[in-house]
Structures are given as structure tokens and as C-alpha cells.
Amino acid sequence: MFINDTVLRSDWIIACKIEDVKEEPIQVIILGERIVLFKNELGIHAFKDLCIHRGAALSLGCVKDGNLVCPYHGWEYNSEGTCTKIPQLPEGRSIPLKARAIKYTCRAEYGFVWINLENNNPEFPAYPEFTDSSYRNVLWGPQEVNANPPRIVENFLDVSHLSFIHEGFLGVPEHPEIGDYDVHTEGNRIYSDEIAIFQPDPDGTGIAKNVYYTYEIVQPLSVRFTKRDPDTDNKMTIMLIIKPIAEGKSVAYGIMSVNYETGTTDQEMIDFQNMIFAQDKPIVENQKPEDLPLDLQVELSLKCDRMSIAYRKYLKRLGVRLGTE
Ligand code: FES
Ligand code: CO
């Protein structure tokens, strides 16, 4: 696996949108592990997608009276994973204590379902814009990517590709230069200075000018930037959140938050982001090595790559395996 699983398993990992969990249970795959999600009046619950009786996938079953029912022989599990019914047991025979589903800690936040596979309930990643009423929040994704998550994350933190890959949208070839900036660490926060980026039409008026980006690392697989218009102080924040499915397979989600009237619908904002992401995708799907090089000498970095370097160092401190070690 591309990464030290324990680091990610001990954190919150995005599973899907809240709206994806409907009346029927669904399966999600995280770090190669099959997980069933279902909901009842107590909320959304996550179990290992495995019935202890004969290994059937519980996600093929259904929800009945708030219990998850295995499709194969009808064993029923409550929200805690305790088996409450085995239809085959003769009258009066008690259910074995071992008859349990493996339960994972699960939370519904920011429009998404998040899972903590080690059940250590770590601090939840902050995203203050979501509860700030001056912001409009639009969920983005899922977007499947055939790449390991750190390459996708690093691409999002990469300042200097904007005038090339996203030419005419997020940058212009006449202004490829990136001014010097620093990356700061304050407690758990790792964030950049404001970085000036010259964009052809940052606010929809058709006038090209500099806007300012501040990047921040939120979690190993969640990063964000805030783009500020110096004339209006309008802000747009995008948090990118990656679901690690298996080696070479990821899904990208995001939250787009704006504190101004964009003149566009949610769907138009999503479509624009999809178009931008489609420009990045062939790059990240074809980068070699597939894992981020840990040794900073392996690839040649420039000063403008400071945010990417900060991300690599952050992963290294966490003990995340990056390949080519
Ligand atoms: Fe689930 Fe038998 S395999 S009830
Ligand atoms: Co890009």
C-alpha cells in the first residue's frame, strides 16, 4: 500500500456523501477494506461488510426495523453491531455473544460520511466555512482517479501548474512566475503565505488581475486553499478530500465555499470544477513514481514548490510511506 495504513486508519477518512446512504445499505471500499453503511433513526452506521456467520456481504442485505439484515440467512444486527436475531435458532436458544458485526466509528459532517477505522475517535478536521452563514457551500465529487492519493493532494497544492495545465482559466502563460512565499507551522496548522497568481478572469468581469491564494494542510488526505480578491475581499475556499480505495485507486471529493454572489448555480460551479479536474487528471494518473518521493533529492524542486515540499515533510513526520525509500 502507498501509505502507512495505521496513520490513515487512526484518522477520519471520507466515505461518501451523506445523500448516498439511502434506505438500502451500501458498500464503500477504504484502504482495500469493504465497509457497509446503513442508516436508521439513530443515524448512519458503518460496519465491516462481512457477516460473521458465513462471510456474506451485509451490504447485499436490507434494513428492517432499524436493523441490518444479512441477505444470506437473515441474521439481524442492531446499530451497535450486536446480533439481535438468528432466525434458525430454536425457540428459547440464546444468541451467541460472538455473533457481532465489526463496527467502525462514523460521523456525518460537512455533507459527507467519515469513518474512523481504528475507533480511536480523533479530533475532527475543522472546516469553519461550513457553519459560517456568510458562506455558500457546494459539495463536489465523486471523481475517480487512477492514482495514489498523495499525488492528487500534491497537485492541488501545486501553485506553478496553473498557468500551464489550466491556461486561460486559472492562469496565463505570459505570467508563469510565482513570487517567493513561506510556509508556516503553528501547532497542527501548516499554511502558506498569500501567493499572488495572475488570472485571466478571476471574478467574472473579464478583467485579468492578481488574486491571492493561501494553502493549508488539514489532514494527510485533505487540503484547502482560500482565494482572495484584493479589490472586493471576496473569498472562495476549496477543500479537496481524497478517499483511498486501494493501490492506485482513489476518489476525490471537495467542498467549495464562497462568501459572495457568484452568479452561477451549484451545478455550474461543479461543472467548472469538473472541467479543471479533468485537466489535472491525466497528469496525476501518469506521474512516476506513483508514490511521492520521500527523499527530496529525487525530484528537483524550486522555491515555488515550498507548499508541496511542506506536504512531503508533513507526511514523512507522520510516518507515511511515500515510496522510493
Ligand atoms: Fe450472514 Fe449467514 S452469512 S446470516
Ligand atoms: Co490543477
Residue 135 CB–ligand 1 contact under 6 Å: no
State the distance from the centre of ligand 1 to the C-alpha of 52, rounded, in angstroms. Answer: 7
257-271 per-position pLDDT tens digit: 999 999 999 999 999
pLDDT over 70 percentage in the chain: 97
Q: How far, CA to CA in Å, does 41 sit from each of 16, 23, 75, 121, 125?
A: 19, 11, 20, 22, 25
Res. 115: pLDDT tops 60: yes
Name the residue of 68, 72, 76, 84 to mutate for ligand 1: max ligand atoms within 8 A of Cβ: 72
* Residues pairing with 222 in the sheet: 219, 241
For 30-89, the pLDDT digits (tens) are 999 999 999 999 999 999 999 999 999 999 999 999 999 999 999 999 999 999 999 999
Is 260 a pocket residue for ligand 1 (Cβ < 6 Å)?
no
Check if 54 has its Cβ closer than 6 Å to any atom of ligand 1. Answer: yes
Taking only the tens place, the pLDDT of each residue in 184-216 is 999 888 999 999 999 999 887 889 999 999 999
Ligand nearest to the CA of 160: 2
The reported pLDDT for the residue numbered 1 is 47
Q: Tell me which residue has its CA closest to atom 4 in ligand 1.
A: 73
Is-contact 111 221, C-beta < 8 A? no
Does ligand 1 come within 6 angstroms of the Cβ of 75?
Answer: yes
Mutate to test the pocket of ligand 1, among 47, 50, 51 (most ligand atoms within 8 A of CB): 51
* Cβ contact 36:27 at 8 Å: yes
Q: What single letter denotes the amino acid at residue 129?
A: E
- Find the range with the poorest average confidence among 84-93, 104-113, 139-148, 290-299: 290-299
Ligand 1 contact via 277 beta carbon (within 6 Å): no
Show the domains of the chain with their CATH numbers. 6-116 (2.102.10.10), 128-318 (3.90.380.10)
pLDDT of residue 295 exceeding 80: no
Which atom of ligand 1 approaches the CA of 58 most closely? 1
Instruction: Name residue 124's amino acid.
Output: F
Give me ligand 2 centre to Cα 198, in Å: 15
pLDDT band at 322 (very low <50, low <70, confident <90, very high): very low
89 lines ligand 1 (CB under 6 A): no
Helix/strand/coil for 216 = strand
Residue 111: what pLDDT? 98
Band (24; pLDDT cuts 50, 70, 90) = very high
Q: Whole-prediction pTM value?
A: 0.95
Name the 3-class secondary structure at 149.
helix
